[in-house]
Amino acid sequence: MNYIKFMALTILASISIFGFTSSKEIEINIIPKPISVKIDQGQFVIDQKTRIFYNFESNHTQNIASALNNHLKKFYSFEPLKGSFSKEAKKGSIFLKLDSALKMPKEGYRIEISNRGVTIEASAPNGLFYGVQTLIQMMPPDAKKLNKIKLQMAQIVDYPRFDWRGLHLDVCRHFMPKEFVLKYIDYMSMHKLNTFHFHLTEDQGWRIEIKKYPLLTEVGSKRDETLIGSGRSSNQYDGIPHSGFYTQEDIKEIVEYAAKRYVNVVPEIEMPGHALAALASYPHLGCTSGPYKVATRWGVFDDVMCAGKESTFEFIEDVLEEVLALFPSQYIHIGGDECPKKRWIECPLCQERIKQEGLKDEHELQSYFIQRAERFLNSKGRKLIGWDEILEGGLAPNAAVMSWRGVEGGIAAAKQSHYVVMTPGSHCYFDHYQADPQTQPLAIGGFTPLEKIYSYEPVPETLTQEEARFIMGAQGNVWTEYMKTTSHVEFMVYPRAAALSEVVWSAKGERDYNEFLKRLREQVKRYDVYGINYSKAAIDK
């Protein structure tokens, strides 16, 4: 995208990259940090007489105006501000202006707050929505009943650095209620994160209703008990059954809710490994006759989907058919990670498949498996994305790669002109410890404090400028083996997701951790009001 003209306007509009009218006085604490903020003297007041005007009428009007009105009603006890169509801003109003002639990135926006009112303008609805999110962050964070809200006069120009600004949630190891998933999406949108990676199937539970295969939820969504303590050393179990899944109506509600907040939901259906819940439901999918059982402990298991049976691929296509009807996302995640080859080596049907297809070994058999899934998705107008193990044995022709085992997989894929989401365990795994383990709840291990996440650079230095354009962005991953409750999930995610949001949105050269912490200490006042159970490990230093 050509930003030369746009950046020229940005520079002219800005006194400094992040706004002060003098060396001390006024600060605006926004996360992620905008591209440009110019602060003016004075304030504009929102009260019950303030009106919302907009120059377009569609479903987007409701989405964007409601984001503001719902916030005012919930946290300031304002009645909804009345809104109506107008081609021009009215004095004393909030004007939402959609103008494709702005030639602004679709998620970019401009805000002008003056004594005449507030104007938020963008070339696409996404940008207007993010402009509203910024406006909300300019309001006082407390939830007192206010008769008026004072906004600092300012001019803001903003747009994201990356298209894929993701946050993942594993609901398989521990099921999370639909209501929490909706809150999770709310918290994403306030940080301008736009991709929700919804991890729905695993060894420990199948969490999405598939009507053609009812046993997936009747059997696969339930496990007898759950491991207590570390997956590396413990042999104790809690003896408590664990279950849960989302009906197709639940999924539709989640996807629709996310769309109103300009969050794209990318489902993950694991294959060919991490599939014990599916095998327990339909044993014919495996290489042996079983019996299989939904896993009660964490780890990697030898039993995987059989690559030698046509019935396996029929199952996959049937499942994906229903998944595609529920999720409009361009990308569908198929997992592809941590697939042991032991059963394939021992399976006559898998060995026959290798021979028939002229494959070299079991790694190429995995590539064959992934490529068949990709051909099906491509035939439906969708694209495949998988963990970086899908590089092994040869990458599917049009696949995108999610690089988690370091950055090497992402580099290799980008050099082959494949699109990449960077999510290395070293910097992007929110299931790691974020402070001294002696002071923290049990976690899987690792140490990924706030500052380390904030320091992450998604584009590896080894890539050329041409190769770098294949880096779509980055994502934080939340695996829930050690997170039984929604409160624990929040504790592990925030404020680390806020740090990542700035990595993927804000200008690379303007990131400053100490300055970020200063803004974050204001942002967490908002978390307190919203009831987010965040970690104070970095903030209290």
What pLDDT digit, counting tens, does each position of 469-496 carry?
999 999 999 999 999 999 999 999 999 9
Find out whether 47 and 69 touch, Cβ atoms under 8 Å.
no
Helix, coil or strand: residue 291: coil
Say what the pLDDT of residue 217 is. 98
> How many Å apart are CA 46 and CA 138, to the nearest integer?
12
* Cα radius of gyration (the chain): 24
Q: How confident is the model at residue 8 (pLDDT cuts 50, 70, 90)?
A: very low
Question: Phi/psi at 376 (nearest 5 deg)?
Answer: -65, -50
Say what the pLDDT of residue 342 is. 98
Say what the pLDDT of residue 192 is. 98
Say what the pLDDT of residue 11 is. 40
> How many Å apart are CA 72 and CA 79, to the nearest integer?
8
What is the residue whose two structure tokens read 């021979």?
355
Q: Does residue 540 register a pLDDT over 90?
A: no
Average pLDDT over residues 306-333: 98
> How many Å apart are CA 78 and CA 176, to the nearest integer?
32
Question: Phi/psi at 141 (nearest 5 deg)?
Answer: -75, -20
Q: Does residue 12 register a pLDDT over 80?
A: no
DSSP state of 429: B
Say what the pLDDT of residue 77 is. 86
Residues linked to residue 335 through DSSP beta bridges, in sequence order: 271
Say what the pLDDT of residue 15 is. 37
pLDDT in tens, 386-403: 999 999 999 989 999 999
Say what the pLDDT of residue 23 is. 33
Cβ-based burial of 254 (10 A; exposed 0-12, middle 13-18, buried ≥19) = buried
Helix, coil or strand: residue 276: helix
Say what the pLDDT of residue 25 is. 55
pLDDT in tens, 19-39: 333 334 578 999 999 999 999
pLDDT in tens, 65-117: 999 999 999 888 888 899 999 999 999 999 999 999 998 999 999 999 999 99
Q: Does residue 46 register a pLDDT over 50?
A: yes
Q: In the predicted model, what is the mean pLDDT of the chain?
A: 94
Residues linked to residue 106 through DSSP beta bridges, in sequence order: none
Domain segments of the chain: what residues? 4-158
Given CATH 3.40.50.970, say whether it is the number of domain 4-158. Answer: no
Average pLDDT over residues 497-513: 96
Q: Does residue 10 register a pLDDT over 70?
A: no
Q: Does residue 7 register a pLDDT over 70?
A: no
> How many Å apart are CA 88 and CA 55, to the nearest integer?
7
The closest alpha carbon to 240, from 170, 292, 174, 172, belongs to: 174
Residues 6+ apart with CB under 8 A from 440: 433, 434, 537
Q: H helices of 14-123, where?
A: 59-76
pLDDT in tens, 434-456: 999 999 999 999 999 999 999 99
Q: Does residue 145 register a pLDDT over 80?
A: no
Average pLDDT over residues 298-323: 98
Tokens of 18: 């992040």
Say what the pLDDT of residue 273 is. 98
Q: Mean pLDDT check: name the lowest of 56-60, 185-189, 217-221, 475-479.
A: 56-60
Residues 6+ apart with CB under 8 A from 197: 166, 167, 168, 169, 266, 268, 333, 475, 477
Q: Mean pLDDT check: name the lowest of 22-36, 458-472, 515-529.
A: 22-36
pLDDT in tens, 355-393: 999 999 999 999 999 999 999 999 999 999 999 999 999
Q: Does residue 1 register a pLDDT over 50?
A: no
Say what the pLDDT of residue 3 is. 41
